[in-house]
């Protein structure tokens, strides 16, 4: 099974960025743990701070891999383009947010991804990515 985690803007700062919200582990360390836990799976990850690069990646992987785990970060709340890309591809997308976006500012409560996601997980910390993987198994 081929899965990809796509992370949006500022998620390259995990471990350093607002640790009270996002925790103190880097994504690199967490990703190594995931790869060890799911040795039988082919899991890759991609991060970009650039909206168009996230759209290009969705187009590239969205017709042949088995599942996409997408945390579009701030673009979740602003990007019609990423929402349309999720709608336009055939691979199912599980939307993940580390924090509980519904317990935060009003502007975080709208997602352009959710209407076309096969599932949404938020508020479980980094564990949300693991739960998303399990949803594909």
Q: Are the C-beta atoms of 128 and 96 separated by less than 8 Å?
A: yes
Which one of 30-38, 41-49, 92-100, 109-117 is the stretch in contact with ligand DQA (CB under 6 A)? 92-100
Closest to 14 in 3D by CA, of 5, 22, 3, 6: 22
Residue partners of 81: CB distance under 8 A and separation at least 6: 51, 52, 55
10 binds ligand DQA per the rule CB under 6 A = yes
**SS3 at position 132:** helix
Near ligand DQA in 34-73, by CB under 6 A? 71, 73
Instruction: Return the active site residues.
Output: 22, 97
Smallest gap from residue 17 Cβ to ligand DQA (A): 8
Interface residues with ligand DQA (CB under 6 A) are 10, 71, 73-74, 76, 97-99, 101, 108
């Amino acid at each position: 099974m081929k899965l990809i985690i796509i992370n949006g803007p500022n998620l390259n700062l995990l471990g350093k960025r607002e640790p009270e919200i996002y925790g103190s582990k880097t994504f690199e360390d967490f990703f190594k743990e995931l790869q060890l836990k799911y040795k039988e799976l082919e899991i890759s990850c991609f991060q970009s701070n650039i909206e168009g690069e996230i759209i290009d990646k969705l187009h590239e992987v969205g017709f042949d891999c088995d599942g996409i785990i997408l945390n579009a970060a701030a673009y979740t709340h602003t990007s019609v383009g990423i929402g349309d890309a999720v709608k336009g591809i055939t691979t199912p997308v599980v939307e993940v947010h580390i924090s509980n976006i519904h317990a935060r500012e009003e502007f975080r409560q709208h997602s352009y991804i959710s209407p076309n996601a096969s599932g949404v997980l938020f508020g479980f910390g980094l564990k949300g990515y693991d739960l998303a993987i399990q949803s594909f198994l």
